[in-house]
A and B are shown apart, each in its own frame.
Chain A
Amino acid sequence: MLPVPYRVQRRRQESHDTFTLELSRSGSAPGLEFAPGQFNMLYAFGAGEVPISISGDPARPDVIAHTTRVVGGVTRVLSRLRRGGTVGLRGPFGNGWPLEQSRGRDVVIVAGGIGLAPLRALLYALTANRGRFARIALVYGARTPEDVLFGAELERWRTSADVEIAVTVDRATESWAGRVGVVTALLRRLSFDPANAVGMICGPEVMMRYAAAELLSRGVAPDSIFLSIERNMKCAVGHCGHCLFGPLFICRDGPVFPYERVETTLRVAEL
């Protein structure tokens, strides 16, 4: 499967190590329809290819946004791209967040660090049809106040889309007046209807396990808690074997899974 060349329309620095690329196909080519939670394989010329979730608005298939943290060689090359630069794109791959299943229910979103990126696409979809959902809450943890992503959007969703938003950081700086601590502490204080809630979690695995445990202890059903799992990927179509997670191919069966399908695999180290 050949990458398709996409042009960088806009590059935005989100934090000291995180950036967003907004990509478009050249000319009159149709946009890329995607579901929030899906990912693309982004190819940096000669450097390699990495799986990156789509962080943009699913109602805008003509602008494909990816928010990435610089963690290695390929993401570093991607971070140096500027407007007009070209990346190769394959996708979209994987499933998405359970939007249909969430209709009429409370939606509790838990994000850790860069895990907010695929949840941002979800928040666009939820707020576009705000009336279809009951309470929407986002609990978001970042390392430091400087690492908090999408501040303007969080503010907009809070003020004009009736999304309850709670942000916490691991380490505060002098100017930080918000909360310090882990997301599970915020989750504990959140009021929602556990019997009619859907949980959607993305972040470091240990955070996801504790967040899922917290939701379970509040009474949310294991088939109503969804996690987005990350693994190494080379092909994204179930052929390279890198993303195997127990019996699951993250690329094909996921990356979003109901908690009950991944619970055992998550519990054993190095599986």
Chain B
Amino acid sequence: MNNISLAAYLSWQEVWRNRGRFFLVSLVIALITLLVLFIAALGEGLGNANRQYLSRLDADLLVYLEKTDFVIPSSRVERSTIRAVRRVEGVADAGGIAASNTAILLNGEEEVLKVSLLGIEPGRPGDPPVVEGRRISGDQAREVVIDRNVILRSDIKVGDLITIRSTQGTRDEFYTLRVVGLTEGQQYTFQPSIFVPYETWDRVRTKSDAERERASSTVNVIAVRLAEGSQAVDVSANMTTRIDNIEIADIQTAIENVPGYTAQQSTVQTQAVFTLLIGVLVIGGFFQIQILQKVPQIGVLKAIGASNAMVGLAAVMQIIITTTLGVALGSLLAFLFSLGFPPTVPIVFDGLSSAVAIVALLLIGPLGGMVSIFYAVRIEPLKALRLS
């Protein structure tokens, strides 16, 4: 106990009496924290922009066309398959999802907002929950539910009519839809999403000349919600036995196979890991130099009866104080900066990823200072005081 209180006393006195020097180190740690948190937030933001709609689906499985490697744009599943899927034991409900892109005209056609156009079956899996207004009323309705990200980038609100531009063959066509509801956090493939009934989707989506002549009979994927108590593995096996030409993925697999998602996330994570490594080296270097400068001092402490445990503990506490201050400062700076970012910048300070980053940052101090702590403990008073 005396070791702990004495170590705390000595480490705090040293930090306080040399606060300028330690503050500079904390500032370096704060900058590393800022960088790591921004990289984590960027990873979260980019990930969200890609996966948000899929991760919030009220479904447990996605059904793809066979041999499409779980790539949604490559998959085309016949609509008749949806009915077959619903009949499989253990399936509570299933709904088709069709995806394409479109542009909403803003400010009298002077500007456009590019969005993901998602065709869903109202009331079925894939139909997003609304936080304002209401859901789409029927399969034929010229109604649209928009993601809040659309509102953040425009002045559209629930009840408005919006015009979307669609290339039909080689010509641009314009369609008017009424915004009936607002949903939240539903970005898909880096764009805010708008949701229309499947029949409307098929009418307004971009088509080639050949496609214009006939109605589509396919969706990209089928979202499957399992009945309570059903096991995904059993239902998947059952489905693939009973229905030809399909492959099934859970939501996580579906997200990982969104084109570019895994590569993008691993790139961002590599950046974060390298930044943490740099942090370890910077902090390690600083504390090592500091311990080298303090060799005679540590020698005196040991000669007058301080134990190795006390000396080591004091070094650890000093590192913890400096690192905690730096991480707190960096987190505050990151929070303040985040307030100024426009919604178009994909930076999202998610609680969990920020917490993981902060814990990692708090650990890099003691990790970086490990060598110096061992060095401090191994200092021999005789040599330190040049008595030998």
Is B truly associated with A?
no
